[in-house]
Amino acid sequence: MLELIKIDTPYITLGQFLKRLNVISSGGQAKFFLQEEIVRINGEVETRRGRKVYPQDQVEISGLGIVMVVSE
């Protein structure tokens, strides 16, 4: 199942995105989360918490599934 996250800005950083999904509780945890878990953006493995995620990007998090970013 595909989950949608709506944003009202041109992009959201991967760290902020993970917080919105309640995967992490603070931005500082993003670095450690990305070292331990596989996160793919549009099929490519990503390890940078500052990576910009744009509307229509698909983020796949191991164990959680695929989330698509959409604009409001």
| Residue 42 Rama label (left phi>0; alpha psi -120 to 50; beta) | left
Domains assigned to the chain: 2-71 (3.10.290.10)
> What is the chain's mean pLDDT, rounded?
94
Query: What is the sign of the dihedral through the CA atoms of 3, 9, 12 and 18?
Result: negative
What's 7-49 look like in SS3? ECCCCEEHHHHHHHCCCCCCCHHHHHHHHHCCEEECCEECCCC
pTM over 0.85: yes
| 42-68 confidence digits (pLDDT tens) | 999 999 999 999 999 999 999 889 999
Distance CA 8, CA 37 (A): 27
pLDDT class for 41, splitting at 50, 70, 90?
Answer: very high
pLDDT at 1: 61
